[in-house]
Amino acid sequence: MATSRALVAFIVLISFFAQIWNSRVKSKVNLNEIHSRSLEIVAKRENPHLMDLELAKLKPASNSYVHELFPRPISGAPQLENATILMLCRNWELPGVLKSMRSLEDRFNKDYHYTWTFLNDKPFTERFKEATTFMASGKTQYGLISPQDWDAPSFINVTKWEECLQDFEDRNVIYGGSKSYRNMCHFNSGYFYKQPLVLQYDYYFRVEPDVEYFCDFQMDPFRLFRENSKKYGFVISLIEYEDTIPTLWEAVEDFMNANPDMIHPESMLDFLTDDKPIGADYLVVEHNSSYNLCHFWSNFEIGDLNFFRSEKYETYFKFLSQTGGFYYERWGDAPVHSIAAALLLNRSEIHHFEDIGYTHVPFATCPESEMLRLGKRCICADSTKTDNINLVPHSCLPRFWKYAGKSFLREYYHPEEYQ
């Protein structure tokens, strides 16, 4: 009996090794590599420091079963990217400008000292320059926008424009009667990246007056963009006012039909057109086209300037501009940028900064993870506890996650920052 059992065991053992050999031959598996990798994993588990470095790759979350780790404070001169912080503003907005600068300097730029670039269609006053220079931790520079880049194009029918302004104002469309707001949207859509002071940079961080950043960044978003091949970044995504863009999507469809080769094969067209409910609490949005009105709120915007300088984007902008919709209607740069990013980029090139707390009246967002708020020293507005824009029915963020995916590993990770 003992001999029989030994024989069976021997046969089973031989069969086991035969299966391994067959698997190795068929799939070209290198058992030595698997063994070496296994030893590395065991070594990390036995070394607390190496294990901590592995755990640091995970994004902090309220439902995490591991101890969250955060990078140590920056010391010394950090690696910098070819980037600038960009603000389009007026002299009279100085108090709001300084408020935004103070917030971003405290939460991010005091560690990096990136240059602030200010643009205005009127000359900046000496008082403005002095105050902003003192507030900045890095250099400041001031650009004057030419009338050719700021004013309405020559092909705009002034009489028709005046009639449209009055109509929009009578219907109480937001900023419906403002000429300067239309100039701003047209400029932000097709001219900001062409300004002489901006041409030297690869990346920009758009900042507006009277905004606030709730959490420490603990990373360089420009470096994140370069290392992960990102082109466009946002914090808030929501529904646009259709009254401001009644024919925008019609113009976009005409552009797509005229330039089908410019639409990226991995685009996020579905993010723009899918209007199926997501979640238990959803908002049914009536719209007069196949565009679901989702867009990225561009008052917070980090982007690759070379994307906007590309032939695809320039063709797209000129196509839209020639329709006159920026002036006869009130097309905003937010949906124009959003649609361009969604159509012309690979969906993997669009980034949601989920761990940056931010507010621009009337909306605010802050990380939901309590541990993330603690680790990044967030001071969030009381309204974000009950009215976080990411969680309300008119947010488009769940739809973005549906089509772009959601990572649970840090996109920005450097082991030396956790030593």
Measured distance CA(199)–CA(287) in Å, rounded: 38
Active site residue 126: no
Tell me the backbone φ, ψ of residue 365, rounded to 5 degrees: -140, 145
Compute the distance between CA of residue 351 and CA of residue 234 in angstroms, rounded to an integer. 7
- Residue 152 has a CB neighbour count (10 Å cut-off) of 16
C-beta of residue 239 within 8 angstroms of C-beta of residue 363: no
Half-sphere exposure in the Cβ direction for 104 (13 Å, CA): 32
| CA atoms within 13 A of residue 37's CA, in its CB half-sphere | 6
8 A C-beta contact, residue 80 and residue 115: no
CA atoms within 13 A on the CB side of 82: 10
Tokens representing 76?
């010394």
Instruction: For residue 248, count other CB atoms closer than 10 A to its CB.
Output: 25
User: What token pair was written down for 177?
Assistant: 């009667």
- Tell me which residue of 211, 165, 198 sits closest to 324, measured CA to CA: 165
Structure token digits, residue 52? 């901590």
Catalytic residue among 81, 93, 105, 301: 301
Closest residue by Cα to residue 86 from 188, 216, 178? 188
How large is the C-alpha radius of gyration of the chain?
26
Can you tell me whether residue 212 is helix, strand or coil? Answer: strand
Residue 127 CA to residue 136 CA, distance in Å, equals 14
DSSP string, 131-159: HHHHH-SS-EEEEEPPHHHHSPPTTS-HH
Which residue numbers are catalytic? 301
